[in-house]
């Protein structure tokens, strides 16, 4: 069967079409800067002897227009990979927030849609767009099954003592204020890969997702038991433009000194993290600044790595055993110098990185620990779209 995966962001639309159960990608695409006059479409055809890429700029006013462009490319007479939209059996949607309602991939029904709407306030930048794309996909592909895979679902196995905040009980019971965690689809995908590689179903793992957004998750036997992101995606590690953990007193101080709540939110989400420390949010730019002798960039990298090491220590304590560290996402997969910084001075946890292996660039799963390291260190490329396709196929197959 053909399963189309739609991963919609606030101003972007990412998609992949898979032939399942072979897990064969037929095409993939990314539409960026939706809502502007200089939107960018990058569409890659993966069938045939060599990949073919189409890239163009044009005005895409909203996600509906983006979905139409995607459909046009999928079924184009020259470069299309389907003849009819009815060839698509199911569409798997990434939905950011599922609250406490969803712990698995879910067939979308009117009731499910109403529940997603009820969670708009918990993910105001993402759930409304996810919902909009579901409605548009229902109209565009009326014969396809629509399936939701939630970022928060993987973390629903966290025990209550891990996800509850020390706040008045009514705030949890009535306002649903608790830690939910995010990047769950990525953490699940790479942890399952690690479990298979280790051949150890009960493995104790720490999965480190380092992209523009960053999170770290403690995983025992394939289940999340704690994670760094909480009620929203702001807490935990230092990120591209998000602050990560700060003392809440900083917020009160800013509010008392003339900042509005919107200004504080914008500051912590868009002007902080590596952006605030260096003027850059992209680690490639920061790496160039370090190599050029920037003391601010070098300090920012130490802050970034130090925060990850703190969480590694904390999660090793709650796991009470550590079989492997996993690095994934853009920075985790590609920045060998940051992996080196993070893994330094962790000898007491029996974590020993091999510098030569760390610098190697090839391999689907790269083992970068020394031969005598009790704890494995793995670099595993994440593939959220494939994970969504797999979960969607499993749901339909079991159904």
**Helical pair 184-198 and 384-398, crossing angle rounded to 10 deg:** 80
Rounded to 5°, the CA angle 85-91-92 comes to 160
Token readout for 218 is 């403690």
Any known ligand binding at 209?
yes
Any known ligand binding at 199?
no
Answer yes or no: are the C-beta atoms of 173 and 164 closer than 8 Å.
no
Tell me the three state secondary structure of residue 345: coil
- Residue in 216, 232, 236, 244 with CA at minimum distance from that of residue 319: 216
If residue 325 lies in a helix (H) or strand (E), which one and from where to where?
A: strand 324-328
DSSP of 175-236: T--S---S-HHHHHHHHHHHHHHHT-TT-EEEEEEESSSEEEEEEETTEEEEES--SSTTSS
Any known ligand binding at 332?
yes
Any known ligand binding at 283?
yes
Which DSSP letter does residue 33 get?
Answer: S
Any known ligand binding at 273?
no
Any known ligand binding at 212?
yes
Any known ligand binding at 363?
no
Any known ligand binding at 9?
no
Any known ligand binding at 94?
yes
Any known ligand binding at 331?
yes
Any known ligand binding at 284?
yes
Answer yes or no: are the C-beta atoms of 42 and 50 closer than 8 Å.
no
Catalytic residue among 38, 86, 151, 202: 151
Any known ligand binding at 80?
no
Q: Looking at the DSSP assignment, which residues form a beta bridge with residue 220?
A: 204, 223
Distance CA 100, CA 152 (A): 9
Any known ligand binding at 334?
yes
Check if 151 is active-site.
yes
Answer yes or no: are the C-beta atoms of 254 and 264 closer than 8 Å.
yes
Any known ligand binding at 384?
yes
- Starting at the edge strand found earlier in the chain, the sheet holding 204-210 runs 223-227, 214-220, 204-210, 324-328, 376-379, 366-367
**Peptide bond connecting 21 to the previous residue in cis, omega within 30 degrees of 0:** yes
Measured from the Cβ of residue 354, the count of other Cβ atoms closer than 10 Å reads: 17
Any known ligand binding at 398?
no
DSSP of 123-178: STTTHHHHHHHHHHHHHHSTTSEEEEEETTGGGGGS-HHHH--SS-HHHHHTT--S
Output the known binding site for substrate.
Answer: 94
Output the known binding site for ATP.
Answer: 14, 209-213, 282-284, 330-334
Output the known binding site for Mg(2+).
Answer: 7, 384
Q: Which residues are catalytic?
A: 151
Output the known binding site.
Answer: 7, 14, 94, 209-213, 282-284, 330-334, 384
């Amino acid at each position: 069967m053909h399963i189309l995966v739609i991963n919609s962001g606030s101003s972007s639309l990412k998609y992949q079409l898979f032939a399942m159960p072979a897990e064969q990608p037929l095409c993939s695409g990314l539409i960026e800067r939706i809502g502007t006059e200089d939107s960018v479409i990058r569409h890659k055809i993966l069938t045939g002897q060599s990949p073919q890429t189409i890239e163009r700029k044009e005005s895409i006013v909203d996600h509906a227009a983006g979905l139409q462009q995607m459909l046009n490319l999928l079924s184009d007479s020259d470069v299309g990979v389907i003849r009819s939209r009815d060839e698509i059996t199911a569409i798997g949607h990434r939905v950011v927030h599922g609250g406490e309602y969803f712990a698995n991939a879910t067939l979308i029904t009117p009731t499910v849609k109403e529940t997603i709407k009820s969670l708009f306030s918990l993910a105001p930048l993402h759930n409304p767009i996810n919902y909009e794309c579901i409605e548009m996909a229902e109209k565009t592909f009326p014969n396809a099954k629509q399936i939701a895979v939630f970022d928060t679902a993987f973390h629903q196995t966290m025990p209550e003592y891990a996800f509850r905040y020390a706040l008045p009980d009514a705030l949890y019971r009535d306002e649903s204020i608790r830690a939910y965690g995010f990047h769950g689809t990525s953490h699940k995908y790479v942890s399952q890969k690690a479990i298979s590689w280790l051949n150890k179903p009960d493995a104790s793992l720490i999965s480190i997702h380092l992209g523009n957004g960053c999170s770290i998750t403690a995983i025992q036997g394939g289940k999340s038991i704690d994670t760094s992101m909480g009620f929203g995606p702001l807490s935990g590690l230092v990120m591209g433009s998000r602050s990560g953990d700060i003392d809440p007193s900083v917020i009160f101080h800013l509010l008392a000194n003339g900042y509005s709540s919107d200004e504080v939110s914008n500051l912590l989400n868009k002007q902080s993290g590596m952006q605030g420390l260096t003027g850059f949010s992209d680690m490639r730019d920061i790496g160039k600044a370090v190599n050029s002798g920037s003391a601010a960039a070098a300090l920012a990298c130490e802050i970034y790595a130090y925060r990850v090491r703190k969480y590694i220590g904390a999660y090793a304590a709650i796991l009470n055993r550590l079989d492997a560290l996993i690095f994934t996402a853009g920075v985790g997969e590609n920045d060998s110098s940051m992996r080196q910084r993070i893994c330094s001075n962790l000898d007491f946890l029996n974590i020993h990185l091999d510098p030569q292996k760390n610098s190697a660039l090839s391999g689907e799963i790269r083992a970068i620990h020394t031969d005598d390291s009790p704890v494995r260190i793995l670099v595993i490329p994440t593939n959220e779209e494939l994970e969504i396709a797999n979960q969607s196929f499993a749901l339909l197959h079991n159904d």
